[in-house]
Structure 1
Amino acid sequence: MGGLREMAAPFVALGPPGVAVRDRLRGMTAEDEKVLRLVGDHLGMLASRDLKARCAAGLGHDTGQWAERKRALTEESSSRWAGSVTKATHDQWALARRGQLAHIQSLEAGVRTIAHRLSLPVGEKGSKRAPGGYRTRQEWFTKTRRLHLLADRLDAARADRETGRVSVVRGGKRLLNTRHNLDAAQLTEEQWRMRWQAGRRFLQADGESGKRFGNETIRVTPEGEVSLRLPTPLAHLANAPHGRYVLAARVSFPHRGEQWRDRVTANRAVAYRIHEDTVRGRWYLTASWAIPPVQTVPLATVRARGLVGVDTNADHLAAWRLDQHGNPVGVPLRFGYVLTGTADHRDAQVRHALIRLLHWAKRHGLAIAIEDLDFSAEKTREKHGRRKQFRNLISGMPVARLRARLVSMAAELGITIVAVDPAYTSKWGAQHWQKPLTSKTRKATRHDAAAVAIGRRALGHPIRRRTAPPPHDQSDRAGHRTIQAGSGTPGREGTRPRIPGPRTRSVHAGRGANAVDQNAQHRSGHSAEHEFWQQDSLPLSL
Structure 2
Amino acid sequence: MRHNLDAVGIGEAEWRDRWEAARWLLSADGESGKRFGNETIRVSPDGEVTIKLPTPLTRLANAAHGRYALVSRLRFSHRGGEWVERVQTNRAVAYRIHYDVQRGRWYLTASWQIPPTPALPLATALGGGVIGVDMNADHLAAWRLDTHGNPTGNPRRFPYDLTGSTPHRDAQVRHALTRLLRWAQTQGVRAIAVEDLDFTADKTREKHGAKRRFRQLVSGMPTGRLRSRLTSMASAFGITVVAVDPAYTSRWGAEHWQQPLRSKARKTTRHDAAAVAIGRRAQGHPIRRRTAPPPQHRIDGAGHRTVQAGPGTLGREETRRRVPGPRTRSVPPGRGPKAGDQRPQNRSGHAAECESANGLESDSASRNGSSTLGASETLSPII
Q: TM range, normalised to the smaller chain? A: 0.5 to 0.7
| Pick aligned residue for 2:204 from 366, 380, 386 | 380
Q: 1:412 to 1:509 in 2, by over 3 A?
A: same
The one of 268, 276, 279 equivalent to 1:444 is: 268
TM-superposed deviation, 1:322 = 0.8
1:282 is the counterpart of 2:73: yes
Higher RCO (C-alpha 8 Å, min separation 6) = 1
How far apart, in 2, do the equivalents of 1:510 and 1:318 lie?
54
Q: Which amino acid aligns with 1:308?
A: I
Query: Quick one: distance in 1 between partners of 2:231 and 2:145?
Result: 20
How far does the alpha carbon of each residue in 1:64-107 deviate from its partner, in whole angstroms, 9 at most, with x for none?
xxxxxxxxxxxxxx9xxxxxxxxxxxxxxxxxxxxxxxxxxxxx
Out of 454, 461, 464, which is 2:285 matched to?
461
Return the match for 1:497 from 308, 321, 331: 321
> Does structure 1 residue 236 correspond to structure 2 residue 14?
yes
How far apart, CA to CA, are the structure 2 residues paired with 1:463 and 1:340? 34
Higher helix share: 1
> Does the CA contact (< 8 Å) of 1:470 and 1:476 recur in 2?
no
Partner of 1:348: 171
1:337 pairs with one of 147, 154, 160? 160
Query: Given the two structures, how large is their TM-score scaled by the length of structure 1?
Result: 0.44
- Contact 1:307-1:368 within 8 A present in 2 as well: yes
Distance 2:150 2:10 in 1: 68
Structure 1 residue 244 displacement after superposition: 2.2
Tell me if structure 1 keeps the 8 A contact 2:141–2:158: yes
Q: Does 1:307 align with 2:130?
A: yes
Moved more, 423-432 or 363-372: 423-432
Q: Distance in 2 between matches of 1:358 and 1:444?
A: 22
Contact 1:509 1:530 in 2 (8 A): no
Q: 1:234 and 1:510, CA in 2 relative to 1: closer, same or farther beyond 3 A?
A: farther
Counterpart residue number, 1:143: none
Q: Determine the structure 1 residue equivalent to 2:116.
A: 293
CA contact (8 A) 2:325 2:336 kept: no
Paired with 2:219 and 2:12, the residues of 1 have a C-alpha distance of 46
SS in 1 for 2:74: strand
The answer as to whether partners of 1:372 and 1:419 remain within 8 angstroms in 2 is yes
CA contact (8 A) 1:235 1:243 kept: no
Alignment match, 1:171: none
Tell me the equivalent position of 2:67.
none
Q: Deviations over 1:392-443 (max 9, x none)?
A: 2111111122112212222222222211121221122122222222234333
Residue 433 of structure 1 corresponds to: 257
**What amino acid sits opposite 1:405 in the alignment?**
R
Distance 1:234 1:305 in 2: 68
2-structure distance, mates of 1:293, 1:233: 48
Alpha-carbon deviations, 1:161-218, whole Å to 9, x = none?
A: xxxxxxxxxxxxxxxxxxxxxxxxxxxxxxxxxxxxxxxxxxxxxxxxxxxxxxxxxx
Distance 1:304 1:397 in 2: 31
The correspondence for 2:248, drawn from 424, 444, 461, is 424
Q: Which residue of 1 is the match for residue 343 of structure 2?
A: none
How far the C-alpha of 1:252 sits from its partner, in A, is 7.1
Q: Which structure has the larger Rg?
A: 2
Report the 3-state secondary structure (helix = DSSP H, G, I; strand = E; otherwise coil) of the residue aligned with 2:263. coil
Q: Does the CA-based 8 Å contact 1:310-1:317 persist in structure 2?
A: yes
- Residue by residue over 1:435-485, the C-alpha shift from the partner in whole angstroms, topping out at 9 and shown as x without a partner, is 222234333211111101100011011112221111123664335535322
SS for the counterpart of 1:241 is helix
Query: For 1:53-202, what aligned pairs fall within 5 Å after superposition?
Result: none
Shift in CA distance, 378/502, structure 1 to aligned 2, threshold 3 Å: same
Shift in Å, 1:257: 6.9
In structure 1, the partner of 2:369 is none
d(CA) in 2 for partners of 1:323, 1:454: 13
User: Residue type matched to 2:126 in 1?
Assistant: R
Q: 1:382 to 1:514 in 2, by over 3 A?
A: closer
Equivalent pair of 2:162/2:169 in contact (CA under 8 Å): yes
**Whole-Å Cα distance in 2 between the matches of residues 256 and 424 of structure 1?**
42
* Contact preservation (8 Å) 2:244, 2:278: yes
- In structure 1, the partner of 2:24 is 246
Distance 1:310 1:480 in 2: 33
Inter-CA distance 258–330: structure 2 relative to 1 (3 Å threshold): closer
Unaligned segments of structure 1, at least 5 residues: 1-77, 79-230, 262-274, 516-528, 534-542
Q: What is aligned with 1:409?
A: 233
Question: How big is the alpha-carbon RMSD for the aligned residues of Structure 1 and Structure 2?
Answer: 4.0
Aligned mate of 1:317, from 140, 147, 150: 140
Q: CA deviation at 1:513?
A: 4.9
Uncovered stretches (5+) of structure 2, i.e. residues with no partner: 1-7, 39-46, 49-70, 76-107, 338-376
Matched AA of 1:282? R
Aligned residues: 274
Q: What one-letter code is carried by the residue in structure 1 that aligns with 2:136? A: N
Task: Tell me the CA shift for residue 240 of structure 1.
Answer: 6.2
Judge conservation of contact 2:31–2:37 (CA < 8 Å) in 1. Answer: no
3-state secondary structure, aligned to 1:283: coil
Q: Which residue identity lines up with residue 74 of structure 2 in the other structure?
A: W
Letter in 2 for 1:353: A
Counterparts of 1:473 and 1:234 in 2: how far apart (Å)? 106
Give the TM-score of the pair, scaled to structure 2.
Answer: 0.60
For residue 125 of structure 2, what is the amino acid of its counterpart? V
Shift in alpha-carbon separation, 1:474–1:468, aligned structure 2, 3 A:
closer
Between the aligned partners of 1:413 and 1:362, the Cα distance in structure 2 is 8
Contact kept in structure 1, 2:149 and 2:280, CA below 8 Å: yes
Summarize the Cα distance change of 1:497–1:444 in structure 2 as closer, same or farther, 3 Å threshold. Answer: farther
1:488 pairs, out of 312, 324, 340, with: 312
Report if the CA contact (8 A) 1:309-1:454 is conserved. yes
Looking at structure 2, the residues matched to 234 and 331 of structure 1 have their Cα atoms a distance apart, in angstroms, of 73
